[in-house]
A and B are shown apart, each in its own frame.
Chain A
Amino acid sequence: MEKYLRFIAAPALLSLLFLPFGGLKRAVALFGFLAILIPALKGLFRYLIKHKERFIFKMPQIDKKIILIPILLLSFSLPFAAKDYIVDIAILTCIYIILAQGLNIIVGFTGLLNLGFAAYYAIGAYTYAILTARLGFDFWTALPFSLALSALSGLLLAIPALRLRGDYFAIVTLGFGEIVHLILNNWDSLTYGPNGISGIAAPSVMGISFESLNYYYYFVLVITIVALIIINNVHSSNIGRAWISIREDEIASSSMGINTMSYKLYSSAFGAFWAGLAGVLFAAKMKFISPESFTFMESVLILCMVILGGIGSIAGVTIGAAVLVVLPELLREVQHYRMILLGAGLIALMIFRPQGILGGRGVSLRG
C-alpha cells in the first residue's frame, strides 16, 4: 500500500499544481491519468532495463554513403511525384537544413552555444530584401552582399563575446538576437517595421526566372547539396579538426598550437555565413519577410534541430532539421500543442538522450 502511495505522490503534486490553472474537473482527470501513467512508465522502464539485451538495436554495418543514393533520387524526383504543397515543404526543409548546418558549425564543431542564431538569418534575409525590393538589385548582385554582411555580423559579435565563459557567451548571443529583432521591428525607415518587406525578387539564371515553385525547388536543392558537401569537406580537414579540438578541450588545443581565438572567430563567421544564405533563400521564396520569422523562438527551434539530430554530426543535423520541419506539418491538427511539446521534448532530450539521434559524434560523411 505504501509503495503505491509513493507512486501517486508525483501525480498528486502535478495535479494540484494544475488545479488553479486548469480548473477542478481537468485537474481530477489529470490526476487519474497520471496515477495510471506514471507507475506504468516506471514499470516499463524497469522492464526495459532488465531485459535490455532484447531491445538493443544494432546499426547494420553498411557503408553510410549508400543511403545517399535513394535520398538523392527521391529528392530529384519529388516535383514529379508530389503536390505543390509537399514541394513547398521540401524547399523549407532545405532552407532549415542549411540553417541547422550553420549553427552546427558553431555549436557542434566548436562547442560554442549560440542562442541568437536567428539574428544572422535575419540579417541575410533583410539585406537581400532591402537590396532587391527597395533598391532594385537583382538576386546575383544582392547575394554576395547579404552573405558578406551575415558573416561579418557573426564575426563582429564574436570578437567581444568570445572573451566570456560558455553560459555568458550564450546570453550575449541571446541579447544580440533580441536587439536585432527589436531593430527590425522599430527601424521603420529601413525595415518597414512589423509590416515587413514585400515584393522580393526571385533569382534567375540566364534569363530563366526561378519564380515557379518547381524551378525554385531544384535551385534550392542544388544549393543545399553543395552546402553540405562544402561543410563536410571543411569538417574533415585540419580546420574541422582544429574546431573539434577546441570543443573537446580548449586548453589542450591551445597547448598543441591551435590559435583558439582565431578559430572560434572563423567558426562564428562561417556559421553565420550559412545562416545568411538561408535567409536569402527564405526571403526569395516567401517574397515577403517580417520580423516575426526571426525571434528567439526561431533560434531555439534551430538549436533543437541541431540537438535532436546530434550535436556535431552533419548527417544527424540534416535529419534533425527535416524532422522538425516535417513533423509539425504532419501534426497540423495539434498545431496548438506544437510549442509545448517542443519545450517538453527539449527537457526529455537532455535527460534521456543528449547526444541526439545520430549520437552526436564528430561524424562526417567520410564513411
Chain B
Amino acid sequence: MYLLEVRSLTKHFGGIRALEDVSFKVKEGAIMSIIGPNGAGKTTLFNCITGITKPTKGKIVFSNIDIASMQPHKIARYGIYRTFQNIRLFRDMTVLENVLVSLHNQLKSRIFGSIFRTARFISEENEAAQRAMEYLEFVGLQSAAESKAESLSYGEQRRLEIARAMAGEPHLVLLDEPTAGMNPQETAEVIELIKRLQSIGKTVLFIEHDMNVVMEISEWIVVLDHGVMIAEGTPYETRNNPLVIEAYLGKEI
C-alpha cells in the first residue's frame, strides 16, 4: 500500500535546520510531488531518502525496512533511483554506457569473465546492451546511444538521467526538478514520460517548481517551507490552502 514512509525526518547542518520533523507517506503506484519555495529543504529530503545525507533524526521506511542511514548504493539496490537537480551524468561516457552503469548489479560475471571473455560474459554484455537500448527508446534517445553524454542538449541530458534511473528497475523513482530550464514542448514530453512511468508500475516522487506540471499530474502534494511540512493534500486542496499561498507569496498557483 504505502511504499515509502517518512517519519519525523529531521536534518540539521550545524545551526541550519534544513528539515524539521517531516512526515508523510507515499502510496504505491502514485505520482506525488514535493513543492515549496527555494531553500525549503526539498533536495535535502531527497538526499536523505537516497542515502547521500544522513538524517539527524527520524525514520525512512521503504518496503518495511528503515533505510535512514543506509549507503546510497544499498538503497539503490533496494529499489530507489533518482535524478539530480544539477544533472550528474557520467559526462565522458557514452549515452549507452551511462545506462549500462545502472544495469551493473544485474551483471553477474566477475573479473574472470571479463578478462577471458567467456561466453557467459559476452552474452550478458549483449543482453545488457539490449536492455539499455530499450530504456533509451523509452525516453527517445536511442539514436544518440554512442554519443558522449556531455554532447547532448540540456533536455536530452535530463531524459538520459531518467533512462539511467529507470535502468535500475526501481520501485520508486525520485525526480529532482525534471523540467527545470525546459521549454513548454520539452516539459510536455517529460509529463508524458512520468505518466508512462506510472503506467509500467513505478511510483514517482518528484520535486517541481513549475506549478502547471505539479497540478496536472500529481495525485498528492507535499508542501515544504523552511524545512517544515506546512501542508499536504490533493492539487485542489493545495491550490486553495492559504498557508501554501502565503508561503509562495503571490506566486501563481
Show the binding face of A for B, using Cβ within 8 Å.
230, 233-234, 237-242, 244-245, 248-249, 251-260, 312, 361-362
Contacts and interface: CB of A to CB of B under 8 A. Distances in A.
Given A257-B102, A362-B92, A238 B115 contact: no
B176 to A, nearest CB: 11
Interface string B75-115: 01100011010001111110001001111110101010111
Nearest to A256: B102
Contact of A241 (B89, B104, B113): B104
B92 A361 contact: yes
B168 A234 contact: no
Contacts of A361: 92
10 contacts: A234-B114, A237-B109, A248-B90, A252-B89, A253-B101, A254-B73, A257-B76, A257-B81, A257-B104, A362-B93
Contact of B72 (A237, A238, A255): A255
Nearest to A361: B92
Interface in B145-171: 164-165, 168
A230 to B, nearest CB: 5
A241 B92 contact: no
A251 B88 contact: yes
A257 B164 CA distance: 11
B76 A256 contact: yes
B50 interface: yes
A255 B114 contact: no
B73 A259 contact: yes
Contacts of A241: 93, 97, 100-101, 104
A188 to B, nearest CB: 39
Given A239-B111, A362-B93, A255 B50 contact: yes
Contacts, number: 97
- The 3 lowest CB-CB distance pairs between A and B, nearest first, are A237-B114, A252-B88, A257-B76
Contacts of A248: 89-93
Contacts of B165: 256
A238 B102 contact: no
B191 interface: no
A255 B47 CA distance: 10
A238 B114 contact: yes
Q: Which of B90, B125, B168 is packed against the most chain A CB atoms within 10 Å?
A: B90
Nearest to B101: A245
Could you tell me the dominant secondary structure of chain A's interface residues? Answer: helix
Contacts of B117: 233
Interface in B61-82: 71-73, 76-77, 81-82
A238 B107 contact: yes
Interface string B169-209: 00000000000000000000000000000000000000000
A230 B111 CA distance: 10
A255 B52 contact: yes
B121 interface: yes
A249 B128 CA distance: 22
Given A253-B101, A257-B102, A233 B115 contact: yes
Q: Which of A241, A248, A257, A258 is packed against the most chain B CB atoms within 10 Å?
A: A257
Contacts of A254: 51-52, 71-73, 76
Nearest to B80: A255
A260 B115 contact: no
Contact of A257 (B77, B84, B92, B109): B77
A360 to B, nearest CB: 9
Contacts of B168: 256-257
Interface string B112-143: 01111100010001001000000000000000
A241 B167 CA distance: 15
A210 B150 CA distance: 50
B93 A245 contact: yes
Given A238-B125, A241-B100, A249-B89, 8 more contacts: A233-B114, A234-B114, A238-B128, A239-B111, A248-B93, A251-B52, A258-B104, A362-B93
Contacts of A257: 73, 76-77, 81, 102, 104-105, 168
A239 B101 contact: no
A210 to B, nearest CB: 25
A308 B72 CA distance: 35
Nearest to B74: A259
Contacts of B128: 238
Given A241-B93, A249-B89, A251-B52, A256 B114 contact: no
Nearest to A234: B114
Contact of A244 (B92, B105, B125): B92
A287 B171 CA distance: 61
Contacts of A244: 90, 92-93, 97
A306 to B, nearest CB: 16
A105 to B, nearest CB: 12
Contacts of B82: 255
A308 to B, nearest CB: 19
A251 B100 contact: no
Nearest to B161: A252
A248 B87 CA distance: 12
A133 B93 CA distance: 47
A259 B73 CA distance: 6
Contacts of B77: 257
Contacts of B71: 254, 259
Contacts of A259: 71, 73
A248 B121 CA distance: 25
B107 to A, nearest CB: 4
